[in-house]
Amino acid sequence: MNWSKPYKRFLLLGQDNNSVKNTNKSQPWLFAYIVILLGFWVTSAFAATDINSVRLWRAPDHTRLVFDIQGSIDHHIFALDNPKRLVIDIANSRYRASYDHLDLSNTPIASIRIAKRNNTDTRVVLDLKAEVSPNNFTLNANEQYSDRLVIDLYDKKRPVSRSVKEVVEQSDRKIVIAIDAGHGGEDPGALGPKRIREKNVVLQIAQRLDSLFDKNPHYQGVLVRGGDYYLAHRKRTQIAREKSADFFISIHADAFTDPRANGASVYALSNKGATSETARYLATRENRADLIGGASALNLGNRDDMLAGVLIDLSMTATMSSSLEAGQYVLKNMGTVARLHKKKVEQAGFLVLKSPDIPSLLIETGFISNPKEARQLSSRAYQQKMAAAIYRGLDQYYRDNPPEGTRLASLANIEPVTYVVSRGDTLSEIAVRYNTSVSKILRYNKMSSSTIRVGQEILIPVR
């Protein structure tokens, strides 16, 4: 369309009558054009926001309600008593979603009511059957979802009485391993071929790893995320601390723009920045996920900043050293079942690893963006192999470094050590490492030859 011609005619309206007379024939068309334009501008300015869908996630300590919205999000939330309910007003909006599919059985929500308010706004009323602490925030659109309004309903904690047995410090305790499946809920993590989602794959591996630790009388596995819901990074380490975890493992599946990228990796925390560009990229991607949880910065309370910094640095130095040492054990065992992306433990500033008192590792089990590794990571058999490799690595680390007061420490000089042969190992080197002899290892395992193969499990007599 030629916009200049009508625009010039529009300018003529401001001239004298004689000039205007020359444009009389075009004025009806011109006025119609102006009306259409004004109507378009008014409609755009006051276009209603569409609420297209609603989802519900249940976490151990809170319920998350998510509204998928097309358009601007102008909302107001307030609570009412007698009976208890939470009211959500979304301005200038149209509710186009269904909420009949939502399972409210394990949530503090008794029912949901939705109605029009002031002929323009949408009012959502949550009838509550339990007291909650609400929190709300908005999220920008990503590759999977549109703009969102998120309502978190945190359960009010009830005081729990503890028995004398629980209060008194126990000896010969189990080693507690906190196993964190990355992402979850609104955060699917990386997406692989055929819509394979990182959050599902890593949860399955974490569950298998948890089962392996629980079967060993010297360990107790703790799943940080036991279902499909999101936890902020600080909340994950908080759960590990509440469970008195000795070690924290965060399970992930890598992704990159080039589908040829492949291999598994092990990361520990670095206070001085990433050890490689890959590590730096991964840390940024994982840390950014906290936006999905609306997480806030770590609160150091009333401590003096300098004192708090010194205390944290001292504690982190010790935990980072333990993390790096344990990481080598885990990486070595992972190398028996997967190609390694890096031959050493990498370091980066992953927020989920920033716990000053718990040794931590972030494990990338493979590239979900790589078609071959995506198929492997979706396989139950491969998931079990990967979980077993991680388990063996940590078990070997703790048999070499049993914490005081644990069952493993009291049995360190009694039970044999299970060693998994890695590439480059020789039986003589293994014997020297464990202060024993090749002949003892051969007799103990009823081996007729000192030839060993990668992945072979050998019992090492420690007496």
pLDDT in tens, 294-346: 644 334 444 454 554 544 555 566 788 899 999 999 999 999 999 999 889 99
Residue 134, CA distances (Å) to 85, 121, 128, 158 in order: 11, 21, 12, 17
C-alpha span between 354 and 250 (Å, rounded):
12
- What's residue 275's pLDDT? 66
**Cα dihedral 266/271/272/274 (nearest 10):** 30
Please tell me the distance from the alpha carbon of residue 176 to that of residue 221, in angstroms, as a whole number.
6
Q: Which pLDDT does position 419 carry in this prediction?
A: 86
CA-CA distance, 397 to 177, in Å (whole number)?
Answer: 13
Query: Which among 306, 202, 314, 204 is positioned nearest to 252, based on CA atoms?
Result: 202
Q: What is the largest CA-CA distance in the chain?
A: 117
Tell me, what's the pLDDT at 356? 72
Q: Are strands 93-95 and 49-58 parallel, antiparallel or unpaired?
A: parallel
List all residues 6 or more positions away from 1 whose beta carbon is below 8 Å from its beta carbon.
none
Q: In whole angstroms, give the CA distance from residue 200 to residue 338.
A: 20
Residue 160, pLDDT score: 42
**What is the rounded CA–CA span in Å between residue 391 and residue 347?**
21
Distance separating alpha carbons of residues 352 and 37, to the nearest angstrom: 53
pLDDT in the model for residue 225: 94
Please report the pLDDT score of residue 165 as a whole number.
43
* Share of the chain residues as helix, strand and coil, in percent rounded to the nearest 5: 35, 25, 40
**What pLDDT, on a 0 to 100 scale, did the predictor assign at position 207?**
97
Q: C-alpha angle with apex 326: 325 to 331, nearest 5 degrees? A: 100
Pairing mode of beta strands 417-420, 93-95: unpaired
pLDDT at 283: 73
Number of CB atoms found within 10 A of residue 158's CB:
6
Edge-to-edge strand list for the sheet holding 49-58: 93-95, 49-58, 62-70, 147-155, 132-139
Q: Give the number of other CB atoms < 10 A from CB of residue 272.
A: 7
CA 322 centroid distance within chain: 23
The 10s digit of each residue's pLDDT in 74-123 is 899 999 998 999 999 999 998 888 888 899 988 999 999 999 988 889 99
What is the reported pLDDT for 108? 94
* Ranges of the chain with pLDDT below 50: 1-25, 40-45, 159-169, 295-303, 305, 308, 310-311
Per-position DSSP letters for 111-158, written without gaps between them = EEEEEEETTTEEEEEEEESS-EEEEEEEE---SS--EEEEEEEEEPPP
167 touches 179 (CB < 8 A) = no
Compute the distance between CA of residue 48 and CA of residue 42 in angstroms, rounded to an integer.
Answer: 12
Q: What is the pLDDT of residue 172?
A: 78
| Per-residue confidence (pLDDT) for residue 410, from 0 to 100 | 76
> CA–CA separation, 434 vs 441, rounded Å?
10
pLDDT of residue 351: 81
| Distance in angstroms (rounded) separating the CA atoms of residues 253 and 190 | 7
CB-based contacts of 433: which residues, under 8 Å, 6+ apart? none
| φ, ψ at 134 (rounded to 5°) | -80, 150
- Beta strand ranges found along 380-439 (DSSP E): 417-420
User: In angstroms, rounded to a whole number, what is the distance separating the alpha carbons of residues 116 and 114?
Assistant: 7
Give yes or no for a cis peptide into 108 (omega within 30° of 0).
no
Q: How far is CA 74 from the centre of its chain?
A: 28
Cα separation, 175 vs 11, in Å, equals 83
CA-to-CA separations, 143 to 187, 305, 384, 427, 435, in angstroms, rounded: 11, 39, 31, 52, 55
